[in-house]
Amino acid sequence: MELTPVTAFGLVVALVGFESLHRLRDRFGWAGGTLSDHAWKWVVPAIILLVVAAEGATPASIGWRVESTALLVWRVGVGLAAMLGTNLLLAPLWARVGDGGESLAEGIGSFAALSVPERLFVAATAGVTEEIPYHGYAVERLAALTGSVPFAGVVAFFAFTLGHLGDTWDRQAVLRIAQPALVTTLLYLWFRSLPALIAIHALNDAVGLLVADRYAPDPDEEEETPSVVRWLE
């Protein structure tokens, strides 16, 4: 595969599209609440699909492959078990690293104000909008251009991980997000099925968001905070 201007543009959008969109919104004051922020994320995969069409390619070229329903269900089950299993196995280790997971918990707790349907929308949005550019497009195009699937996976992993750094997730949280980012990247390199990874990603996020209330700030504790400290904050 030869690198064309269209594909080069697609790779830029896939790898840094979310950060570019965030900067653009800040520049023009297109701010919003949590749901608005996540709705804006659909712009990136929409552009990617337009790029694929401009390349004269099909969705299958970015991993949209479903050989059979049974195989899809098996892949989703295995992938979700891998995601949740590594979370449980590595939890004791992460508890000893950095801030012990406080920043990640705060990030998850910030979604507690959303209703269940809204949280499911956020989870589905994450699955669709992040898997299409980072794994579907970036991995497939970089692998085709370089002939190296591992190289494509490494680039996608770092772009995926760093792409979460922002208002919701700080550096400590992103350090922990690197774990599921690595697992999803490895799963995509194994399955090469975008629908499976979208489902795995969305279901994994849904599990975390549905228990976001556990990580929400305790109103009673906030009331106990001295007024001068609250003012300084």
Is the model more confident about 84 or about 110? Answer: 84
Say how far apart CA 13 and CA 49 lie, in whole Å.
Answer: 11
Q: What is the pLDDT of residue 224?
A: 44
Is the pLDDT reported for residue 219 higher than 80? no
162-190 mean pLDDT: 83
Q: Which of 90, 87, 76, 68 lies closest to 187 in space, CA to CA? A: 76
Q: What is the pLDDT of residue 228?
A: 35
- What are 61-97's pLDDT values in tens digits? 999 999 999 999 999 999 999 999 998 898 888 777 7
Cβ atoms of residues 75 and 191 within 8 Å: yes
Cβ atoms of residues 142 and 232 within 8 Å: no
Round the average pLDDT of the chain to a whole number and report it: 87
Q: What is the pLDDT of residue 178?
A: 87
Q: What is the pLDDT of residue 103?
A: 73
Torsions phi, psi of 141, nearest 5?
-75, -40
Q: Which of 190, 122, 188, 195 lies closest to 156 in space, CA to CA? A: 188
93-108 mean pLDDT: 74
Is the pLDDT reported for residue 197 higher than 80? yes
98-104, long-range: CB < 8 A, 24+ apart: 98/172, 98/175, 99/172, 101/176, 102/172, 103/169, 103/170, 103/172, 103/173, 104/169, 104/172, 104/173, 104/176, 104/177
Q: What is the pLDDT of residue 167?
A: 56
Say how far apart CA 154 and CA 117 lie, in whole Å.
Answer: 34
Say how far apart CA 212 and CA 65 lie, in whole Å.
Answer: 33
What is the pTM for the complete model shown?
0.87
Q: Percentage of the chain with pLDDT > 70? A: 89
Which segment of 18-22, 35-39, 206-210, 212-216 scores lowest on mean pLDDT?
212-216
160-168 mean pLDDT: 77
Cβ atoms of residues 194 and 64 within 8 Å: yes
Is the pLDDT reported for residue 212 higher than 60? yes
- Quote the distance between the C-alpha of residue 209 and its chain's center: 13
20-46 mean pLDDT: 89
Other C-beta atoms within 10 Å of 66: how many? 13
Sequence spans of domains, the chain: 5-229
Confidence of residue 229 (pLDDT cuts 50, 70, 90): very low
Three-state SS string over 157-203 comes to HHHHHHCCCCCCCCHHHHHHHHHHHHHHHHHHHHHCCHHHHHHHHHH
